[in-house]
Structure 1
């Protein structure tokens, strides 16, 4: 399988007048095309810092991050999509105008790209709401719209920063199932940061477990379910609890 991103010996510290605070130490892993990597770790361990490094918002102090063999900053950020905890849809724009916003900003609002986005709205149940305002949609529908806005730019890698954390539990399960299925149908590569172990197992094909700060990689757990299973179906599979328990033990074992 083709390597999409390689993270080699990456370390990062925050510097203030009071001194240095190490956040990540010697992080090494590879993401292949088509992977869905879930990242879990203790609160405050540096998960968000790692995601900021992967999206190119900050540069590592040591080590390298390569996208298709090129340094991330040299290749540019246009090939990476970032989905945040909140949908950040603009109330003064319709859903159609919101999902086209990225294309508009990048001067890529061609008839062909617009047609592709309209097709996604139809496929994922939002087309009849294209003239609605965000406040008229449920939280789950808003997250689907936010994902379509990100997919419209055809990113090679999707970075998901706890995108379901603002939703209630029942909606979170449904939306996680929707988003996971959409990413699979669109054949995208994704990295999810989450504090929810069940979410990590139900969505990922491998789970990277970080230690407490300064974070190192404790283990990378491969997750194997039938390709036909949805994230919700995974949760009911007999092997689900074994994966959950393995990751729980890794998180709670002494360093």
Structure 2
């Protein structure tokens, strides 16, 4: 089992061959799957739709588009700095702005859990740092639980509260590392803290022992 299989199981796209996945103590079903948001590596914004219409797409598909939910979506565009681009096409936005738009598209559906499949991997390094900081702040502000899959140790430490290190395929949980930073510091500030290196080295050691 690899990371893509793991996320597909958690989102209900695949059923486990053995065991069960529980959501609030109940076996994963269609209702609980609707409470799970899935953000992929690429933003998958449609060029023929404006940013506003891209944001509203999930609401349209789930027949949840109402004046109230549309108002919520527009307020999120304002809150996260994209409102003035609501009539723009995806190609007119930077990679970081597109990822923010993709996250808002997911959040307007009010998921209880977010699955993030290497959402920053297509960005250049500098943009990746900034967008990771932005999206981490948005998730914290919205009070969401997120499961982030990444191969970037620095990203895992700077954004996570708990890091699960997976073994080689078939993947099992090799170790769990709890990450503790002050609540009031950003992902970028975490990278500059004295504890960051210790967490990084601990996880690096676990990975090397798995070779």
| Band the TM-score falls in, shorter-chain normalisation | over 0.9
> Relative to 1, partners in 2 of residues 1:254 and 1:80: Cα closer, same or farther, differing over 3 Å?
closer
Partner of 2:34: 78
What's the RMSD between the two structures over aligned residues?
A: 1.0
Q: State the distance in 2 between where 1:178 and 1:142 align.
A: 12
Q: TM-score, normalised by structure 2?
A: 0.98
**Match among 118, 143, 159 for residue 203 of structure 1:** 159
Q: Deviation string for 1:214-251 (max 9, x for gaps)? A: 11111100000000011111010110000000000001
Whether 1:179 aligns to 2:135 is yes
Q: State the distance in 2 between where 1:199 and 1:142 align.
A: 19
Higher strand proportion (structure 1 or 2): 1
Partner of 2:98: 142
Partner of 1:159: 115
Question: For the Cα contact (< 8 Å) 1:67–1:75, is it kept in 2?
Answer: no
Q: State the distance in 2 between where 1:142 and 1:97 align.
A: 13
Mark the runs of 5 or more structure 1 residues left unpaired by the alignment. Answer: 1-22, 24-45
Q: State the distance in 2 between where 1:80 and 1:218 align.
A: 25
Query: Equivalences for 1:226-245 in 2 at 5 Å?
Result: 226-245=182-201
Query: Equivalences for 1:1-255 in 2 at 5 Å?
Result: 23=1, 46-73=2-29, 75-254=31-210
Q: State the distance in 2 between where 1:179 and 1:166 align.
A: 15
Tell me the matched-pair count: 211
Q: State the distance in 2 between where 1:254 and 1:144 align.
A: 34
Q: Deviation string for 1:56-78 (max 9, x for gaps)? A: 11011111101111111254421
Mark the runs of 5 or more structure 2 residues left unpaired by the alignment. Answer: none
Question: For the Cα contact (< 8 Å) 2:168–2:210, is it kept in 1?
Answer: no
**Which sits farther off after the overlay, 237-246 or 62-71?**
62-71
- Ranked by relative contact order (alpha carbons within 8 Å, sequence separation 6 or more), the top structure is 1
Higher helix proportion (structure 1 or 2): 2
Q: TM-score, normalised by structure 1?
A: 0.81
